[in-house]
Amino acid sequence: MRDAPYPERPDPSPQPSPERERGPGASEAGEAGYNFAYLDEGTKRMIRRAILKAIAVPGYQVPFASREMPMPYGWGTGGVQVTAAILGRADVLKVIDQGADDTTNAVSIRRFFARTSGVATTTRTTEATIIQTRHRIPETPLREGQILVYQVPIPEPLRFLEPRETETRQLHALAEYGAMHVKLYEDISRHGHIATTYAYPVEVAGRYVMDPSPTPKFDNPKMDQSPALQLFGAGRERRIYAVPPYTSVRSLDFEDHPFRVQEFTEPCALCGASGHYLDEVVTDDSGGRMYVCSDTDICETRVAEAAR
């Protein structure tokens, strides 16, 4: 773990004693009194059925009966439910929040699954079989067999253009996405370029327009033809959707205003990488700032390799 700018907070709650953690009735590694990966089997079946239909109709939002989770809506309950439904004993789980393994949301979700399922966890993108993410795609290219689970706050890309669910369902049914192009065009007329920088709408497999979750648009190209399976869970809005591996994911744009990602003028201040997504970190109260990789794993790996 790097010590700045995101120090891992010490856990204020007392650790359970080993006996309590492996009390009578406990599964071989999980917390006593809970089913493997927290959810009951009936809930897992329901979520699993939604995932299968989501894969069969790429980019379409499948409704599911989202459960109360031991964390508030907005903290990744959709992603957590998807992860709980697919997780098996042999999986290795990585959880990132804005690219970082060591922020509160990532640490607490990783610990949640370590305690309720006993699966191995990692911060290494290359070692993980399942990566749950909030708002980033790892810089390290994903490979076949890996699953990326996105936490999604608002799954409906048309929601801010049309508030009624009955209407947005019709718009998707008719593949009527003109309003989204008008929104992007209004960006151009007002700012001279498409000013949408995150949750940038994409068209999946030439049919459904999908919200990629609030990832920076910098990450959109990584979704296209990815060898990894991408699953999206929105807990509060009760939707699951998916992009199978090797599927076209096209960011909406215009011929004369093609899609472009952000560019950074300087490399990462810690590892020196260019071409990574960078966070701005304010270092003092007199205007000092530095830019560092948002993906802590690749940054730490590069720093460690350089020190060798």
Partner 1 sequence: MLAPGFADAVHDAQGTFRAVMDALARPGLLQRLDAGLEPPAPLTSELAAIALALTDADTPVWLDAGLAAAPEVAAYLRFHTGAPLTDDPARAAFALIRDPARCPPLSRFAQGTPAYPDTATTLVLALDAIASGEGLRLTGPGIDGAVRIALTPLPEGFVAQLAENHAGFPLGIDLILTAPGRVAGLPRSIAVTEG
Pairwise CA distance, residues 46 & 27, whole Å? 22
Closest alpha carbon to 125 in 107, 109, 139: 139
């093609």: which residue's tokens?
258
Helix (H) or strand (E) holding 302: helix 296-307
């069969």: which residue's tokens?
56
Here the tokens at position 306 are 């350089």
Residue 293 bears catalytic tag: yes
56 binds partner 1 (CB under 8 A): yes
Helices (H), 209-295: 220-223
Closest alpha carbon to 236 in 71, 109, 38, 78: 78
In this structure, what DSSP letter does residue 218 have?
A: G
The correct pick among 5, 33, 63, 70 for binding partner 1 (CB under 8 A) is 63
Give the contacts of 254 (CB within 8 A, at least 6 positions apart). 181, 184, 185, 188
Binding string, residues 83-122; x marks residues near partner 1 by CB under 8 A: --xxxxx---------------------------------
Find the shortest distance in angstroms from Cβ 229 to partner 1: 5
**How many chain residues bind partner 1 (CB under 8 A)?**
46
Q: Phi first, then psi: give them for residue 207, nearest 5 degrees.
A: -130, -75
Task: Give the range of 2-10, 156-164, 245-253, 285-293 binding partner 1 by CB under 8 A.
Answer: 245-253
Q: With respect to partner 1, which residue has the nearer C-beta, 35 or 122?
A: 35
Ranges assigned E (strand) in 159-266: 202-204, 208-210, 229-234, 239-243, 249-251
- What's the start-to-end Cα distance of the chain, in Å? 17
Find the shortest distance in angstroms from Cβ 259 to partner 1: 21
Residue 30 bears catalytic tag: no
Find the shortest distance in angstroms from Cβ 221 to partner 1: 17
Q: With respect to partner 1, which residue has the nearer C-beta, 37 or 96?
A: 37
Residues 227, 157: contact at Cβ < 8 Å?
no
246 binds partner 1 (CB under 8 A): yes
Task: Give the range of 98-106, 107-115, 239-247, 251-259 binding partner 1 by CB under 8 A.
Answer: 239-247
The correct pick among 3, 41, 263, 284 for binding partner 1 (CB under 8 A) is 41
Here the tokens at position 290 are 């530095």
Q: With respect to partner 1, which residue has the nearer C-beta, 109 or 148?
A: 148
Q: Which of residues 1-40 bind partner 1 (CB under 8 A)?
A: 27, 35-36
Find the shortest distance in angstroms from Cβ 34 to partner 1: 11
Footprint on this chain of partner 1 (rule: CB under 8 A): 27, 35-36, 41-42, 44-46, 48-58, 60, 62-63, 85-89, 169-170, 172-174, 204-205, 207-208, 225, 227, 229, 242-248
Which residues are annotated as catalytic? Answer: 59, 268, 271, 293, 299
